[in-house]
Amino acid sequence: DAGVIQSPRHEVTEMGQEVTLRCKPISGHNSLFWYRQTMMRGLELLIYFNNNVPIDDSGMPEDRFSAKMPNASFSTLKIQPSEPRDSAVYFCASSPGLSNQPQHFGDGTRLSIL
């Protein structure tokens, strides 16, 4: 079975540029989560969707960050403009959509903003 697929795996770009991270959840999963992992702050939930609708975006750091889920099989996390402090590993996870079901993680996108 295909797991959660993220692209790109690595992204290096200069500050001020727009960055788009992509995620394909596991087929049939109704919930999708975006996390950010850094040494200083650990694993932080940025936003999560259920049935393509954003449910909780309280973790989105600021207006430079936006996330969309246009359909059940695709989501994007966009940073515009990017800043060096956005450098982190960004994970996407999906789950069947019930609170007692575990989340399944992708392998992440390592983002470096120069």
Partner 1 sequence: AQSVTQPDIHITVSEGASLELRCNYSYGATPYLFWYVQSPGQGLQLLLKYFSGDTLVQGIKGFEAEFKRSQSSFNLRKPSVHWSDAAEYFCAVGAFDGNEKLTFGTGTRLTIIP
Among 18, 27, 28, 55, binds partner 1 (CB under 8 A): 55
List the one residue from 20, 57, 66, 97 that touches partner 1 (CB under 8 A).
97
Determine, following the binding rule CB under 8 A, whether residue 91 of this chain makes contact with partner 1: yes
Q: Which of 29, 36, 21 is nearest to 4 (CA)?
A: 29
Residue 108, sorted as left (phi over 0), alpha (psi -120 to 50) or beta, turns out to be left
CB of 81 to partner 1, least distance (A): 27
Give the strand order in the sheet containing 74-79: 5-7, 19-24, 74-79, 65-71
Which of 17, 27, 28, 56 contacts partner 1 by CB under 8 A?
A: 56
99 binds partner 1 (CB under 8 A): yes
